[in-house]
Amino acid sequence: MRRVVVPKKSHAHRVAFLTRHALSGLALYRALLRQCNSLQQSRPDLVSPESHVRERFRRYKNLQSPSQTANALRAGYEALDLVYSAAQGDKEDIGRLTKLLSEVQLAKERKRQHQNALAAIRPVKELNKKQVKAEENRRFQTATAQRHPEARPILERPRAVVSGKRRIPTLVNASGIPFLRISKPQPQSLSRLIRGKIVQRQKWIDRRDRLELEVLFCKDEDQWDDLTTGCEDGEQWSSALRTAIHDIRVQIREDNEKRAALAKSMWNIVLAERELAEKEKQAEEKLAEEKLAEEKLAEQKQTEQKLAEQKLAEQKLAEQKPKRGRPKRRQSEEKQDEEKPKRGRPKKRQAKNG
């Protein structure tokens, strides 16, 4: 079966095709830009089609289909003839070019209005958590681009009194640069300061390494001078470089000492902050215990008061109720009862002894 070769997927055919048409398209693009420049010089009252040409070439620069590429090149050469004729002063071609550019501009305006209408009716998509966090971080970095004018130096800590809960800072080592991190995210001004110090130190190190390498070449020059002049006590090429290297090493050593002293001071601040935080925690716990005891005492008093009130109410209620019992009889009824003979079981006769 015969193998079908697709130029788009065949490397050799694609390279040959793209190379040939890429060169043709580049030549056409340059010719069109030159004619647009000529048209602008000869007819400054006309709108230049240069922006339209650039946009079209940018849109179709990734074409790989042979038919589409051929059609695009054909249209480009027709446009080149039209622009050339308009630059020469042909009124009919000038009218065609003006009409074509106006239609293109009108189509762009309609498309823009249509997109604005779609954007107006399209529901706003809610941001996910990651996007919300990124937006908040971006706003924070913008707000902290400059140091706050009322910000106090970090070495003035610890503060005796703070509003709210005391935050214990963390001593961080950023490439040899110590700083205290109070909270995250990190302000942009602090990041810029750290980055500047790191860059400055790296410049010193790079310069020292470069000078140490150049000292080797200077030694060769000094040996050559000794051999040619025969004088070994004269000024040497490497003396200036050694002085520069010594100065750089002094700068780096002083910078290291400053960083060590700063780190020690910051660590003392961390320890002091921890001690104050522990004291404040104990004071808060003691205050909470006292408050709890007061609440219990108040609750107990309230309970006793309620019981007393309840007992008093029961006593009042008992006094208000009448006493229940046998009603008193009248004196006349009592006399009648006394006059009546007492009824009872007759006594047994005593048996006579025979």
Query: 3-state class of 182 per DSSP?
Result: coil
Q: Is residue 92 part of a domain?
A: yes
- Whether residue 329 lies inside any domain: the answer is no
pLDDT at 249 (0 to 100): 94
- Where does a domain end: 92, 121, 150? 121
- Does the residue 72 lie in any domain? yes
pLDDT at position 172: 92
Structural domain contains residue 247: yes
Asked whether residue 117 falls in the same domain as residue 230, the answer is no
Question: Is pLDDT above 50 for 166?
Answer: yes
Domains identified in the chain, total number: 2
Residue 268 has pLDDT above 90, yes or no: yes
In sequence order, what are the residues at sequence separation of 6 or more whose Cβ sits closer than 8 angstroms to the Cβ of residue 194? 174, 175, 177, 179
Domain stops at, among 70, 101, 121: 121
How many CB atoms are closer than 10 A to CB 47? Answer: 15
> Are residue 97 and residue 176 in the same domain, yes or no?
no
Q: Which residues of 299-330 are buried (b: 16+ CB within 10 A; e: fewer)?
A: eeeeeeeeeeeeeeeeeeeeeeeeeeeeeeee
Regarding whether 191 and 83 lie in a shared domain, the answer is no
Please state the rounded mean pLDDT for residues 93-104.
Answer: 86
Question: What is the DSSP secondary-structure string of 232-281?
Answer: SSS--THHHHHHHHHHHHHHHHHHHHHHHHHHHHHHHHHHHHHHHHHHHH
Let me know if residue 204 belongs to a domain: yes
Do 174 and 273 share a domain, yes or no? yes
Question: Do 223 and 272 share a domain, yes or no?
Answer: yes
Which residue range is the domain that position 219 belongs to? 159-290
In a domain, 62, yes or no: yes
Q: What is the distance of C-alpha 87 from the center of its chain?
A: 55
Looking at the fold, whether 101 and 202 belong to one and the same domain comes out as no
Query: Does residue 352 belong to any structural domain of this protein?
Result: no
pLDDT, position 337 = 58
Reported as a single tens digit per residue, the pLDDT across 284-293 is 899 999 999 9
How many Å separate Cα 293 from the centre of its chain?
45
pTM for this model (two decimals): 0.52
What does the block give as tokens for 67?
């038919």
